[in-house]
Structure 1
Amino acid sequence: MNRRSLLKGGLLAGLAAPFTGIKDVIAKPIGGSKKAKNIIMLVSDGMSTGTLNMADIYSNRILGVGSKWLNLYRDNKGVRALMDTASANSMVTDSAAASSSWGGGMRINNGSLNVGPKGEKPQPILQKFKEKGKKVGCVTTVPITHATPAGFCVNIDNRGGQDIIAEIYLGLKFDVMMGGGHKYFGDKRPGGNLIPKYLTQGYKVAENRNEMLALDNSKPVLGLFAEDGMPYEVDRKHDESLLKSTPSLAEMTVKAIDLMKDHKNGFVLQVEGGKVDWAAHSNDVSGLIFDQLAFDEAVGKALEFAERDGETLVIITTDHGNSNPGLFNANDNNRKFDGLKNFKRSNTWLLAQLNQSFSEQKIIDLIKENQGFNMKSEDVKFLMNHFKDITPDQLYNESNLPFYEYGKILGKYTDVQWAGMNHSGDYVELTMFGPGSESLKPFVKNYELHNFMLKAAEMPESFLVKS
């Protein structure tokens, strides 16, 4: 195992202090660098720094232990950097361009997947690793055809063509693909049901948690556990039927590693906490924090494997910030923030239960039962008045629910507030552990990770993208 300081270099030592809180940020790696036989890249989609911070605060205060991600910093075990996330045509990227920067090694325009501004089509990185004999896969809590996993896999000029991406995956025959998105493969798919074709091509198809747990590594795997995105973790954990039918991100991660870890040439796995981004777009505090904690559990499982294995590079990051939430000072904010432990449901679930025929008391009781606090009468009136006044075309809000208004109300009861409802151009956290991590520079651009991963695995020079 290689260890070094979170940031290195004389000039950067001064910058490191506010991040790390330690005096000596320069340390020598333990052992020498060696080839990364395996790579696990974990992406908390749309994770602003405030999201990472609040999940760690919650974990410390309520669960009694720091988050796995930030414990790497506390224990001086991870290598840390900041990453510029811009796309080819914007300082503020979308998930397709962000993932394609990693997948294809170049910046592309928002909305495309590994199709450059001049029509370039770089070979996606999982295709490269598969070509050289590794097992490869993706797991996510959103559709497996969504932008972040697809950016590691395919070339298509429109991220919205998820039914087409599902068909492209069939030809790639990657080893493990698990998440949501059944409607892009099954009977509801516009171009026809692809699942029989997957079975004919030798895939095992799992459609619930028990079927996933029973999988072995004799055939490639397609796991589809929801029609669209998988449930928010706060909803899954408080619904017995979902607990039985739907795996957590950590369970999918463990299973994917188990299915590929014995391969003689190693494996490359991408893991995405995709619903973190959806919660940020919705200003949904419980959706956000509990999905970030579910992502952190997957981080922990990847790190446990990497520490045992000794040949696995773990990369932990996000593709961009989203909505820049944070915990703000107000009266009694410790108690208010701690009240999140009483949340049993996401805002998405709760708002979907409401209609304007409900009495004020019925709404107060519903919120108390499912989110644990007593909403004031004036806030209930404000909320119900705004059911008629929804901003159209909000992302992931097909039901036109008052996400913005409810998020603003909840700020009074949790002291968590939001800067907006969309992506931000922030530099983001990038953390590595394991062989190859000692080569990480303190500041990188997103597309540089493509060659970084190839070099860590000692792939042939011909696979590197020329700058």
Structure 2
Amino acid sequence: MKRRDFFRNTALAAAGSAVISPFQSVAMPTHRLLNHVAGKRAKNIIFMVSDGMSVGTLSMANMLSERREGKLCAWMSLYQEKKAVRGLMDTASANSLVTDSAAASSSWGGGVRVNNGALNVTPEGDRPVPILQKFKAAGKSVGCVTTVPITHATPAGFCVNSDSRGDQAEIALMYHDLRFDVMMGGGTEFFSADNRKDKQDVFGKFVSSDFSVVKTRDELLAADVSGKPFLGVFYPNGLPYALDREHDEALKANTPSLTEMVTAAIKRLAQNSKGFVLQIEAGKVDWSAHANDTGALIYDQLEFDRALAAVLSFAEADGETLVIVTTDHGNANPGLFGATANFEKIIDFKHTNDWVLQGIDRDFNAHQVRERIEYAQGYAINADEAVRLLAHYVTDRGEDGLYNPYKLPFADFADIQRKYTSIGWAGTGHSGDHVEVAAYGAGAELLKPFVRNTDLHYLMLEAAGVKSAQI
């Protein structure tokens, strides 16, 4: 298969050392343990992150794929067909066995462990050069694609140094100065003068600096991706969940899917004869796990898998590309704990729990709540359960939690939902689990059966033949 065939056929073209303390021991870099095995050098690297993906998330997405599509998901097919090198990864940060996304991505981006909340700034104040800056200096094209704000922790960890992941307005300005080749995702509020506190027109700043800037799916599909650096910011905050987008014609028309963004990014980056490095993130897998939102979680994971299939198609045709697919940490540890028939109800879901709860207000009655859930997800809760949900709106007993600014009753709804779907959750936060990591293509043999997250920084540099700065 020729590289040009990939672009023609994609959706876009068609439309153990001594221990002093737990954190000190896990914070020690282990890149010296990587011994290169003779193999083909990676001209390109595509690093794919399903953020917050517990193994239960991957398992349930694969089970739903088998029942809905009659086939394994792309990730599981890599294992079944013995095409990938597979390992487990320790995800800890410098100050916690349970990492956040900033520290996790920084371990890959900077090659050292940092405290939760920091982006490539060590506890001692060192600021290692982020990996996309290294690869750009080596002459490669670089970029990031995500379903959450492009300024969010996971893409930023490959790109910048910042004391706080929360300074997304400043990170947007850093991206301008770095002039990376492709940056796409959500987060219009960090680029629009109407939404920024400093009233800077950052979109205009990019245009004035000769970037191609697009803000809608149609503009992306029609864009000339040759030559100029490319910025695509399509939605406030995170992009819509894949399940909601699929059943909303306006969202489908105005916002691109992850696969469409990935295809456009590869098409732009692959023009460089020296190769490229691209990070891809399904960031709303993590957001849905925090919300215990079954439909959002599984369908965003399946969209990530479609993007993985497109990436693997390119890599197979290209023959010089290393694909790494992993997650930064587990989240909420969901799993199937009951009847298959209940699980299969998810096949017919039209909308997420987020969509359901966003549309309820204090003026609803129990019957209306039941109707809304039955329309969105195909089952009817009982009257007592509807009253239980309504209590959160009537008495303002909202839930706290990440990515829940309206204090919606996500956890309570998930608890009610369990008897209808047989899916349970361990909590609403990150876990310290070791996680799946797989490598395919040029340099995949460098992946060992067990790695620290920092090892992947040095693996990428070694696979591409790019020398790392001394730590």
Corresponding residue for residue 222 of structure 2: 214
CA contact under 8 A between 1:451 and 1:464: conserved in structure 2?
Answer: no
Structure 1 position 465, deviation (Å): 4.7
Which of residues 257, 267, 278 is equivalent to 1:258?
267
Matched, 1:197 2:205: yes
Corresponding residue for residue 412 of structure 1: 419
Corresponding residue for residue 309 of structure 2: 300
Structure 1 position 391, deviation (Å): 5.8
The one-letter amino acid paired with 1:119 is: G
Matched, 1:454 2:458: no
The one-letter amino acid paired with 2:178 is: L
Structure 1 position 193, deviation (Å): 1.6
SS in 2 for 1:271: strand
Query: What's the RMSD between the two structures over aligned residues?
Result: 1.3
Corresponding residue for residue 318 of structure 1: 327
Give per-residue Cα distances to partners, 1:179-222, cap 9 Å, x unaligned: 00010011211222211110111101100111111222221000
Which of residues 337, 357, 367 is equivalent to 1:328?
337
The one-letter amino acid paired with 1:34 is: K
SS in 2 for 1:112: coil
1:297/1:347 CA distance change after superposition, 3 Å: same
Matched, 1:290 2:296: no
Q: Distance in 2 between matches of 1:454 and 1:355?
A: 52
Q: Distance in 2 between matches of 1:390 and 1:310?
A: 55
Matched, 1:273 2:282: yes
The one-letter amino acid paired with 2:59 is: N
Which of residues 137, 145, 148 is equivalent to 1:142?
148
Q: Distance in 1 between matches of 2:386 and 2:164?
A: 41
SS in 1 for 2:297: helix
Corresponding residue for residue 8 of structure 2: none
The one-letter amino acid paired with 1:210 is: D
Corresponding residue for residue 178 of structure 1: 184
SS in 1 for 2:46: strand
Give per-residue Cα distances to partners, 1:382-424, cap 9 Å, x unaligned: 2122344646541000011000100111111000110000000
CA contact under 8 A between 2:391 and 2:397: conserved in structure 1?
Answer: no
Corresponding residue for residue 68 of structure 2: 62
SS in 2 for 1:90: coil
Matched, 1:128 2:134: yes
Q: Distance in 1 between matches of 2:337 and 2:181?
A: 44
The one-letter amino acid paired with 1:195 is: F
Matched, 1:161 2:164: no
1:337/1:392 CA distance change after superposition, 3 Å: closer
Corresponding residue for residue 90 of structure 1: 96
In the TM superposition, what are the counterparts of 1:383-402 in structure 2 within 5 Å?
Answer: 383-387=389-393, 388=395, 390=397, 393-402=400-409
Corresponding residue for residue 224 of structure 1: 233
CA contact under 8 A between 1:176 and 1:222: conserved in structure 2?
Answer: yes
- TM-score normalized by the length of structure 2: 0.90
Structure 1 position 309, deviation (Å): 0.2
Corresponding residue for residue 51 of structure 1: 57
Structure 1 position 294, deviation (Å): 0.4
CA contact under 8 A between 1:46 and 1:319: conserved in structure 2?
Answer: yes
The one-letter amino acid paired with 1:214 is: A
Structure 1 position 262, deviation (Å): 2.1
SS in 2 for 1:374: coil
Corresponding residue for residue 11 of structure 1: none
Gaps of 5+ in 1: 2-30
- TM-score normalized by the length of structure 1: 0.91
Q: Distance in 2 between matches of 1:434 and 1:249?
A: 22
Corresponding residue for residue 364 of structure 1: 370
CA contact under 8 A between 2:118 and 2:164: conserved in structure 1?
Answer: yes
SS in 1 for 2:316: helix
Q: Distance in 1 between matches of 2:397 and 2:314?
A: 46
Gaps of 5+ in 2: 2-36
CA contact under 8 A between 1:233 and 1:287: conserved in structure 2?
Answer: yes
SS in 1 for 2:184: strand
The one-letter amino acid paired with 1:180 is: G
Corresponding residue for residue 100 of structure 1: 106
SS in 2 for 1:101: helix
Structure 1 position 379, deviation (Å): 1.3
1:390/1:426 CA distance change after superposition, 3 Å: farther
CA contact under 8 A between 1:105 and 1:465: conserved in structure 2?
Answer: no
